[in-house]
Amino acid sequence: MTADSPARAGVDRIADLWGERTPHDKGTVWPARVDLHLDAGVGAGDVDRWVHSACLLCSNGCGLDIAVKDDRMVGVRGRSTDVINHGRLGPKGLYGSTPWASSPDRLTRPLIRRDGRLVETDWPTAMGQIVEKSKELLASKGPLSHGFYTSGQLFLEEYYALAVIGKAGIGTPHMDGNTRLCTATAAAAFKESFGADGQPGSYTDIEHCDAIFLFGHNMAETQTVLWARILDRTRGQDPPKIVCVDPRRTPVAAEAERTGGVHLAVQVGTNLALMNGLTRELFVNGWIDEDWIDAHTLGVAELRRKVEPYTADQVAGICGIDPDDLRRAARIFGESDSILSTVLQGFYQSHQATAASVAVNNLHLLRGMIGRPGAGILQMNGQPTAQNNRECGADGDLPGFRNWDNKEHVQELADLWNVDAMTIPHWAPPTNAMQLFGYAKDGTIGLLWISATNPAVSMPESARIRKILAGDQCFVVVQDLFLTETAQLADVVLPAAGWGEKTGTFTNVSRTVHLSDKAVDPPGEARTDLDIFLMYADAMDFQNLDGGPLIGWRTPEQAFDAWRQASAGRPVDYTGLSYDKLRGPTGIAWPVNEQAPEGTDRLYTDPIFPTATEQCETYGHDLLTGGAVTEQEHRAMAPAGRALLKGCEYTPAHEQPTQEFPLLFTTGRTVYQFHTRTKTRRSRSLNEAAPDAWVEINPEDAERYRIAEGDLVRVESPRGAIEVPARIGQVMAGAVFAPFHYGTFDLDQLNSAGSLRQANELTMTIWDPVSKQPYFKTAACRISKVRGGDGPSSAPTTAASAPAASDAAVPPTQGGQVTTSRLVPTPEYPNDPAQGTAGPSPTATVAGES
Residue among 93 and 247 whose Cβ is closer to ligand SF4? 93
Residue among 508 and 760 whose Cβ is closer to ligand SF4? 508
Is residue 432 a contact partner of residue 126, using CB atoms and an 8 Å limit? no
Nearest-approach distance from CB 653 to ligand SF4, in angstroms = 30
* 736 vs 715: CA distance, rounded Å: 9
Nearest-approach distance from CB 28 to ligand SF4, in angstroms = 22
- How many chain residues bind ligand SF4 (CB under 6 A)? 14
- Count CB atoms within 10 A of the CB of residue 174: 27
Among 13, 86, 92, 757, binds ligand SF4 (CB under 6 A): 92
Nearest-approach distance from CB 36 to ligand SF4, in angstroms = 12
- Is 60 one of the binding residues for ligand SF4 (CB under 6 A)? yes
Nearest-approach distance from CB 61 to ligand SF4, in angstroms = 5
Nearest-approach distance from CB 378 to ligand SF4, in angstroms = 14
Residue among 259 and 512 whose Cβ is closer to ligand SF4? 512
DSSP string computed for 64-86: EEEEEETTEEEEEEE-TT-TTTT
Residues 216-235 that bind ligand SF4 (CB under 6 A): 223-225
Is residue 347 a contact partner of residue 271, using CB atoms and an 8 Å limit? yes
User: Which parts of 690-759 fold into alpha helices (H)?
Assistant: 699-704
Q: Torsion angle of alpha carbons 296, 298, 302, 303, nearest 10°?
A: -50
DSSP 8-state secondary structure symbol assigned to residue 828: -
Partners of 782 in the beta sheet? 716
Nearest-approach distance from CB 59 to ligand SF4, in angstroms = 7
Nearest-approach distance from CB 508 to ligand SF4, in angstroms = 8
Nearest-approach distance from CB 55 to ligand SF4, in angstroms = 3
Partners of 77 in the beta sheet? 36, 65
- Is 90 one of the binding residues for ligand SF4 (CB under 6 A)? yes
* 101 vs 56: CA distance, rounded Å: 13
By the 10 Å C-beta count (0-12 exposed, 13-18 middle, 19+ buried), 329 is classed as buried
Which part of the chain contacts ligand SF4 (CB under 6 A), choosing from 85-93, 595-603, 739-747, 769-777? Answer: 85-93
- Is 518 one of the binding residues for ligand SF4 (CB under 6 A)? no
- Count CB atoms within 10 A of the CB of residue 119: 11
Give 136's contacts (C-beta < 8 A, 6+ positions apart): none
Nearest-approach distance from CB 78 to ligand SF4, in angstroms = 8
- The candidate with the shortest Cα–Cα distance to 499, out of 79, 154, 110, 20, is 154
255 three-state secondary structure: helix
Residue among 56 and 645 whose Cβ is closer to ligand SF4? 56
* 807 vs 803: CA distance, rounded Å: 8
Which part of the chain contacts ligand SF4 (CB under 6 A), choosing from 57-65, 273-281, 527-535, 730-738? Answer: 57-65
Which part of the chain contacts ligand SF4 (CB under 6 A), choosing from 83-91, 240-248, 412-420, 751-759? Answer: 83-91
Is residue 812 a contact partner of residue 689, using CB atoms and an 8 Å limit? yes
Nearest-approach distance from CB 34 to ligand SF4, in angstroms = 13
Judged by phi (left if over 0) then psi (alpha if -120 to 50, else beta), residue 448 lies in beta
Return the residue nearest ligand SF4 (CB atom). 93
- Is 55 one of the binding residues for ligand SF4 (CB under 6 A)? yes
Nearest-approach distance from CB 96 to ligand SF4, in angstroms = 7
- Is 93 one of the binding residues for ligand SF4 (CB under 6 A)? yes
- Is 87 one of the binding residues for ligand SF4 (CB under 6 A)? no
Nearest-approach distance from CB 517 to ligand SF4, in angstroms = 17
- Is 371 one of the binding residues for ligand SF4 (CB under 6 A)? no
Among 29, 32, 51, 58, binds ligand SF4 (CB under 6 A): 58
Nearest-approach distance from CB 97 to ligand SF4, in angstroms = 7
Residue among 57 and 664 whose Cβ is closer to ligand SF4? 57
Cis peptide before 691 (omega within 30 of 0): no
Residue among 62 and 118 whose Cβ is closer to ligand SF4? 62
* 53 vs 69: CA distance, rounded Å: 16
Nearest-approach distance from CB 153 to ligand SF4, in angstroms = 12
Is residue 647 a contact partner of residue 307, using CB atoms and an 8 Å limit? yes
- Count CB atoms within 10 A of the CB of residue 467: 12
Residue among 60 and 453 whose Cβ is closer to ligand SF4? 60
Residue among 54 and 643 whose Cβ is closer to ligand SF4? 54
- Count CB atoms within 10 A of the CB of residue 792: 17
Which part of the chain contacts ligand SF4 (CB under 6 A), choosing from 56-64, 627-635, 678-686, 825-833? Answer: 56-64
Which part of the chain contacts ligand SF4 (CB under 6 A), choosing from 86-94, 130-138, 341-349, 512-520? Answer: 86-94
Among 32, 47, 62, 127, binds ligand SF4 (CB under 6 A): 62
Nearest-approach distance from CB 94 to ligand SF4, in angstroms = 7
Q: In what order do the strands lie in the sheet containing 63-69?
A: 49-54, 63-69, 72-78, 33-38, 818-823
- The candidate with the shortest Cα–Cα distance to 502, out of 551, 542, 566, 452, is 452
- Count CB atoms within 10 A of the CB of residue 35: 28
Which part of the chain contacts ligand SF4 (CB under 6 A), choosing from 58-66, 294-302, 332-340, 636-644? Answer: 58-66
Residue among 47 and 55 whose Cβ is closer to ligand SF4? 55
42 three-state secondary structure: coil
Residue among 60 and 794 whose Cβ is closer to ligand SF4? 60
Residue among 88 and 208 whose Cβ is closer to ligand SF4? 88
297 three-state secondary structure: strand
Which part of the chain contacts ligand SF4 (CB under 6 A), choosing from 84-92, 316-324, 426-434, 637-645? Answer: 84-92
DSSP string computed for 536-578: HHHHHT-B-TTSSBS----SHHHHHHHHHHHHTTSSS--TT--
Nearest-approach distance from CB 93 to ligand SF4, in angstroms = 2
Give 733's contacts (C-beta < 8 A, 6+ positions apart): 698, 700, 701
Residue among 145 and 224 whose Cβ is closer to ligand SF4? 224
Cα distances from 549 to residues 165, 423, 540, 545, 820, in angstroms, run 11, 15, 10, 9, 50
DSSP 8-state secondary structure symbol assigned to residue 170: I
Residue among 92 and 367 whose Cβ is closer to ligand SF4? 92
* 457 vs 486: CA distance, rounded Å: 8
DSSP 8-state secondary structure symbol assigned to residue 650: -
DSSP 8-state secondary structure symbol assigned to residue 401: G
Cα distances from 62 to residues 28, 384, 507, 650, 680, in angstroms, run 20, 10, 11, 37, 17
Contact letters for ligand SF4, residues 276-305 (x by CB under 6 A)? ------------------------------
Residue among 512 and 667 whose Cβ is closer to ligand SF4? 512
Nearest-approach distance from CB 7 to ligand SF4, in angstroms = 17
Which part of the chain contacts ligand SF4 (CB under 6 A), choosing from 59-67, 307-315, 596-604, 811-819? Answer: 59-67
Nearest-approach distance from CB 749 to ligand SF4, in angstroms = 24
Among 61, 216, 446, 610, binds ligand SF4 (CB under 6 A): 61
Residue among 223 and 752 whose Cβ is closer to ligand SF4? 223
**Given the rule CB under 6 A, which residues bind ligand SF4?**
55, 57-58, 60-62, 85, 89-90, 92-93, 223-225
